[in-house]
Structure 1
Amino acid sequence: MICAQHRNPARVCYLFCGRLTSANFIAKPAAKRQTGAAQMKTTIRRCAAVAAGLTVLVAAGPAEQPAKLPSVDVILERNIEALGGEKAMRKLKNRETRGKIELTAFGAEFPVIMRQAAPNKEMMELTIEGLGTIRDVFTGRKGWTETPDGEVTEKKEREVANKIIDADFYAYLNFKKNYPEIAFQGVEQVAGKKVYAVKMTPKKGDADTFYFDAATGLVAGVASTAEMQGQEVKTKVLFRDYKKVDGVQIPHTLELEEPAFASFTIRLGSVKHNVKADAKWFKKTK
């Protein structure tokens, strides 16, 4: 869920952004293309390499140790206030967001749709011209990824554990519920901003470090861990361009970077709440 109340959109981007390298595949002569199934598998393997680049998105400077630091409770309470307050957040029951993912190195962009519903359902749909549509879905209990060649990959236990928290529609109101261990890490510099680093560890799943903007109280970024083909991959996402939508602050730009291959920018255009839900949102297409 790519919004102000999502624990970590980086893990979703981890699955999707690598597939954008298929734009290079689309541009090649037909004679040099791989067959559909083989190409998709190649694209999926690229996902791991591209996702690894997310680790350099936010360069956190050395922590400073001021004399007085806010408590974790104060940081979390201030974040809720900055977002618009609990009352405004609770009024929202679902969200539909449309935007685009820009693949800078290839000069290409692709439309993306994200839909979320309380308590913890979400889906992300990416359409690549000439290749088809990729869907990532979580129903609250199980999830899967669908690719244009008809392949469906079910989420494993670790992914499900992460998704249960990732997809929490009221994630920022449920920090203490979702994370039994919350520890203040210090004051750092992230993308030129002074932030409070707070590490949160769930009972099941991977720990996340949230960077709360010291000036605004909003989340400036999130550092997490993802798994691909048995390997640990560190991910980071940077939130920018917060705008108020239906009384709640939503970041409309997410910046991702992979130096070896390409850089990515996700820009949100339309953000709507409490829309008429479709039962097909969270079901398999085939």
Structure 2
Amino acid sequence: MRRGLAVFLLVGLFAISIAVGQAEQTQAPAPAPAPAATESLPTVDQVLDKYVEALGGKAAIEKGTSRMGKGTFEIPEFGATGTITLFAKVPNKTAVVVDIPGFGMVKQGFDGTVAWDDNPQSGLTEKSGAALATAKRDATFHRELQLKTLYKQWEVKGKQKLAEQDVFMLTATPEEGAVETWYFDAVTGLLARVDMEREGPQGTGVVQASMKDYRDVEGVKTPFRIEQVLPGMTIIIKFDEVKQNVEIEDSQFIKPSVTPPATTPQG
């Protein structure tokens, strides 16, 4: 079970969570919510600008230059729990450390150029192609302020329901990678969910990441609970603390060196 769990934790969702992967089961994530009645819709600029203001505003967001979060994760389907530590730093450096009891440490990072994974099962690997492009985009520190440039096209698709929550649904098309669907709370303006694809060791995985329990961290609203729904499983991340402007060494984000095995002297 721990081996399969590691696969799920290898795919980088650097900005908002630990990882996503391809589950062994084949059931699909919950379908997109049904459209609400037709009504006048806001523009892309209005939705994204309201999102920035809902978080605390451009000035408050720009005051942050680093971030560290500590918490726990749970995967009910596996009966698995563990700890997670997230590091991020301007302009686009990020690292995640996941401790899985009975398996070991799963680490991943992006130093601004190189995206890497390190775990007891697969060892140290480096991302390339679309996976590298996604890691770079997800690692952007002031991402909320750069959404219009990080994605080449945004489109408002409608107003829908997520449970009892009214949301505006937007599609975001990156230069490289699959189209993503973003859901913004129609009342508060905060981001409620993102549906996306991410590449992993077993292929492309579809994930629905819901952001909940927003709290104020030095003037910026931050989700302290993230729920990721994948085929056959759900990852629940709960942050106990999130701190801004903490000192983080650049070495935290750099791909580790591979230590060659010791050799036995002959003769």
TM bin, normalised by shorter chain, reads 0.7 to 0.9
Among 235, 241, 253, which residue is 1:264 paired with? 235
Name the structure 2 match of 1:250: 222
Q: How far does residue 230 in structure 1 lie from its aligned partner after superposition? A: 7.0
Name the structure 2 match of 1:35: none
CA distance in 1, matches of 2:15, 2:162: 17
**TM-score under structure 2 length normalisation:** 0.84
**Seq. identity, %:** 29
Among 237, 245, 257, which residue is 1:274 paired with? 245
CA distance in 1, matches of 2:216, 2:26: 32
The structure in which a higher percent of residues are helix is: 1
CA distance in 1, matches of 2:90, 2:105: 25
Name the structure 2 match of 1:92: 64
What CA RMSD, in Å, does the superposition of the two structures yield over aligned residues? Answer: 2.3
**TM-score under structure 1 length normalisation:** 0.79
Among 92, 101, 104, which residue is 1:129 paired with? 101
Aligned residues: 245
CA distance in 1, matches of 2:77, 2:208: 20
CA contact (8 A) 2:207 2:228 kept: no
Name the structure 1 match of 2:149: 177
Among 9, 31, 40, which residue is 2:16 paired with? 9
Look up the SS of the partner of 1:141 in the other structure: coil
CA contact (8 A) 2:209 2:229 kept: no
CA contact (8 A) 1:96 1:272 kept: yes
Q: How far does residue 205 in structure 1 lie from its aligned partner after superposition? A: 2.7
Matched, 1:69 2:75: no
Q: Unpaired runs of 5+ in structure 1?
A: 1-5, 15-46
Specify whether residues 132 and 67 from structure 1 end up closer, same or farther in structure 2 by C-alpha distance, changes over 3 A only.
Answer: closer
Aligned structure 1 segments of 4 or more residues deviating by more than 3 angstroms: 6-10, 50-54, 105-108, 228-232, 257-260
Look up the SS of the partner of 1:88 in the other structure: helix
Specify whether residues 209 and 82 from structure 1 end up closer, same or farther in structure 2 by C-alpha distance, changes over 3 A only.
Answer: same
Name the structure 2 match of 1:218: 190
The letter of the residue matching 2:22 is A
CA contact (8 A) 2:207 2:229 kept: no
CA distance in 1, matches of 2:200, 2:83: 24
Q: Unpaired runs of 5+ in structure 2?
A: 1-12, 258-267
Specify whether residues 209 and 267 from structure 1 end up closer, same or farther in structure 2 by C-alpha distance, changes over 3 A only.
Answer: same
CA contact (8 A) 1:54 1:257 kept: no
CA distance in 2, matches of 1:197, 1:179: 15
Matched, 1:283 2:257: no
The C-alpha deviation readout for 1:161-198, integer Å capped at 9, x for no partner, is 11121111111110111112111111111233111011
